[in-house]
Structure 1
């Protein structure tokens, strides 16, 4: 999706507990003020260097992608004519579409559940508090990094080759990629806990497993629950397009409709995807409120009421609801697994396919074509981020109530952003390729829309949570709106602006790596072709290159956050 999280690889919506990276709605620190006559603090190198680097890359990207005003105007004309051909939308056989929509949901639930189970063990091993062999910790951290760096659609391509067409490949792709985010953030949750309970349990002779379950895991459950619900929302968006590479779900119908030039049915399918995602976003929001600690004034801080004996805690309404919800989640997860078309014969064949795939990876091949494709993906991502951040900042300022006090405008802009985020990036790319033809220009436009929606969401939440006292003080002195923004808002907003812009780039880079699958430029086309033609050494080279680029960007982001935030 487009959408969903900065702390992680995929489109965030709500604050994720336990992460050390900037979150939606996280309140930036108030600007430090110096006493009269003192020197002004030096501006961080990251504060100036990062925007200048984005500007330099964007100037080059405008030339590389051939973004000219005349070409943009002509392109929007072609897109308008395509949209006219998509009206009125139709869905075709509703029963078939409903079946595919449910299959999308089962893929997301099964993948999220599998990733959660695996992430508990990986996060425990990757945490700084892990007392086992260092090799195990390094291996767990490496798995988390690699699975986070490779997009789910790329995993889907590989698993389709191993397991064949169908939802099983999609569910496993969602699971493996989700480990990167869930495992990383779960490890952060474990690390941020106070060590006192662990030390107390260890002092009475408890084993390492007993200590972990009774202290670390138990205290992390509320945060982990919120994290998993948020990840499920992201995975539904991702699984909606896995059918484009044969991994099941409603994307199969979308690819068929566009491939057969049935644009009205394609429009109807896109609307169904958007409706499904918006409904699930609302459900996720309600569930997160329900599981949040002290979600309302009636929530009690105690976990259980007193039972008949101190060793037997009693049952109250809250405990009954939590237990019922947990049981329902387990049943739903098990049912979703049964819908992935899993059978023993396919597993036996998959093992041979996996061995052939992995053995073909060695030695990896790096060619000029691979480097050029990765380079084009990076240029697309950074150029789209630059334009998306600028437009997103304007939308965020106009959507923030204590900056622009016009409620209808704020609500309208927020609704537009929600709708924009509801359409996955690759769907935008499909539309632009159909209207404009193959090439990076279509991918740039798709990523620009995604970056605009994502950045505006992040920025709006951050602006809503700045300290309003400096703003009101400036207004009391007769300062204008622009003066209030420059002197009162911007100093507080800079850390969030830098951090969220970097995270938007991170997500855009992952997405740009797969847009080539539908012909929208970048390395995706070459990757898909290498798997389809069994050139696995080339596939390995592409994957290694993507991992190196993503890890390098994450390292720059961590450095910038230390300097700015």
Structure 2
């Protein structure tokens, strides 16, 4: 992976460039079979057909009918009318909760970044220590990535009690999975020559890692951590729904008391906070990251007067200042987590009781049915979200539609929709439509549409323009240009990003039941609240198995398609 921030996408890992998306092809073109047309892999046809089959079943299971959708839209419209005009209530109280949300995200992201350095180093295939350590590190990364942050929040509230400490730890544990996996990939993709040179002069393992692997990975790692912070602010905004602090507490109180106008004001406050932080994250990424081109390498220091002495330049000063500011913010955020000795003293006993209660895990028919419903909701929502997102992406790029105001409006709408967490949509739909998977399906469909449209728009903007220009020179119309010049290049990204959208939807569907929107989340919340930890363990194991299985399918598909 390059140190460029452009290689970091919302998929949590590097999204291959167009030129790498087909085995043996150039500029995104499929490698042709000898004497015949380009070969279409089984994954290219099989994965869309599998989605279609699951969606047909999901339409029946969730009871998605045109009449029900029309009636639901009417109910949602009436609820939205009750939310206008939005009010915020006491502004100081709302501001305090908003800042608490920010401190939870900063503290959790910082803790995850520190832990991920060690886990990624141990999980990398270049690790020369005991194999058992590598397996343990890989296992921790897999498990923490599979369990959503809201589920971690439920468990940590049980261990540490209500408040922001549980929220920060939930953010940290879940983020370790993504940051650790990505850092491990960055470490593995580095050329081995500097590592071998340092080892040859007698440096020990730690000296070698710090002076070669870690320093060269810092630009990409900084971009990754900044991006993860953006995700974590979105996640921490709703942790208050399970008592883990932040602005979600106010949102739950407002909806629970049917004060929908205040709920709307809180949702708008969350969106504004997320949009501001997204802009700040983008600007900081540009400031701290080094972009390598084909003639230069990303490097941490400028040349000094002597070869052995690193020098200072504007870029290094900015990075140093940004690093110092980030460290100060992280330390300050840790001080805002309401940590006290009494809580920490009780935590060990609570954690021991919780973990002891996990054995043996219990798998009931209700658990299997809940996980099954979560999977059906996720895949059905992904299918509709991908279709709608593809339409939005096509209308947002110049390859088919050249009306700039339309593209700008659609992109702004997607940014706004992405600013609202999934579970907030679920809360609104449950309030309007009642309990059940239909509300969860609608919430996930909106989320999948916004996510897929962003992925697809970014991919369509980066396709090779040469085939497009050639078709334009022959007088082809816009539809012909898209079908023949754009779509063949876009297929690998379409498949890969659709799979990743499913992965995220599955994680979210597992927690929407907490607010009554179907799936296994209700059972999970209930099992923790009633101290049925064996059932909790069974649910967590089931979710991990399903998520790991989906990731395995995604890896297979990428090998076949990308």
* Distance in 1 between residues matched to 2:206 and 2:9, nearest whole Å: 24
Deviation at 1:487, TM superposition (A): 1.3
Aligned to 2:424: 427
Aligned to 2:181: 184
Counterpart contact for 1:14–1:25, Cα < 8 Å: no
Within the candidate set 360, 363, 380, 2:360 is matched to 363
* Distance in 2 between residues matched to 1:402 and 1:61, nearest whole Å: 33
Q: How does 1:157-196 map to 2 (within 5 A)?
A: 157-196=154-193
Residue 141 of structure 1 aligns to a residue in which SS?
Answer: helix
Residue 310 of structure 2 aligns to a residue in which SS?
Answer: coil
* Distance in 2 between residues matched to 1:17 and 1:72, nearest whole Å: 33
Aligned to 1:95: 92
Within the candidate set 485, 490, 506, 2:487 is matched to 490
Aligned to 1:121: 118
Within the candidate set 101, 105, 110, 1:104 is matched to 101
1:555 lines up with 2:552 in the alignment: yes
Residue 23 of structure 1 aligns to a residue in which SS?
Answer: coil
Aligned to 2:339: 342
Query: 1:309/1:42 Cα in 2 relative to 1: closer, same or farther (>3 Å)?
Result: closer
Residue 427 of structure 1 aligns to a residue in which SS?
Answer: helix
Q: Which runs of 5+ in 2 are unaligned?
A: 22-26
1:208 lines up with 2:208 in the alignment: no
Q: How does 1:121-520 map to 2 (within 5 A)?
A: 121-294=118-291, 303-305=300-302, 307=304, 310-520=307-517
Deviation at 1:316, TM superposition (A): 3.0
Aligned to 2:15: 23
* Distance in 2 between residues matched to 1:348 and 1:382, nearest whole Å: 43
Aligned to 2:24: none
Query: 1:190/1:81 Cα in 2 relative to 1: closer, same or farther (>3 Å)?
Result: same
Query: 1:258/1:301 Cα in 2 relative to 1: closer, same or farther (>3 Å)?
Result: closer
* Distance in 1 between residues matched to 2:35 and 2:192, nearest whole Å: 41
Q: Bigger CA drift: 313-322 or 96-105?
A: 313-322
Residue 246 of structure 2 aligns to a residue in which SS?
Answer: coil
Counterpart contact for 2:399–2:481, Cα < 8 Å: no
Q: Bigger CA drift: 304-313 or 109-118?
A: 304-313
Deviation at 1:497, TM superposition (A): 0.3
Counterpart contact for 1:17–1:189, Cα < 8 Å: no
Deviation at 1:39, TM superposition (A): 1.3
Number of residue pairs matched by the alignment:
550
Deviation at 1:352, TM superposition (A): 0.2
* Distance in 2 between residues matched to 1:301 and 1:355, nearest whole Å: 46
Counterpart contact for 2:400–2:479, Cα < 8 Å: no
Deviation at 1:198, TM superposition (A): 0.8
Query: 1:518/1:302 Cα in 2 relative to 1: closer, same or farther (>3 Å)?
Result: closer
Q: TM-score, normalised to structure 1's length?
A: 0.94
Aligned to 1:32: 30
Q: CA RMSD in A?
A: 2.0
* Distance in 2 between residues matched to 1:306 and 1:34, nearest whole Å: 46
* Distance in 2 between residues matched to 1:315 and 1:477, nearest whole Å: 53
Deviation at 1:307, TM superposition (A): 4.8
Counterpart contact for 2:452–2:497, Cα < 8 Å: yes
Deviation at 1:473, TM superposition (A): 1.5
Deviation at 1:291, TM superposition (A): 1.6
Counterpart contact for 1:17–1:223, Cα < 8 Å: no
Deviation at 1:16, TM superposition (A): 1.4
Q: Which runs of 5+ in 1 are unaligned?
A: 1-12
* Distance in 2 between residues matched to 1:101 and 1:88, nearest whole Å: 21
Aligned to 2:38: 41
Q: TM-score, normalised to structure 2's length?
A: 0.95
* Distance in 2 between residues matched to 1:460 and 1:157, nearest whole Å: 35
Counterpart contact for 2:290–2:299, Cα < 8 Å: no
* Distance in 2 between residues matched to 1:101 and 1:486, nearest whole Å: 47
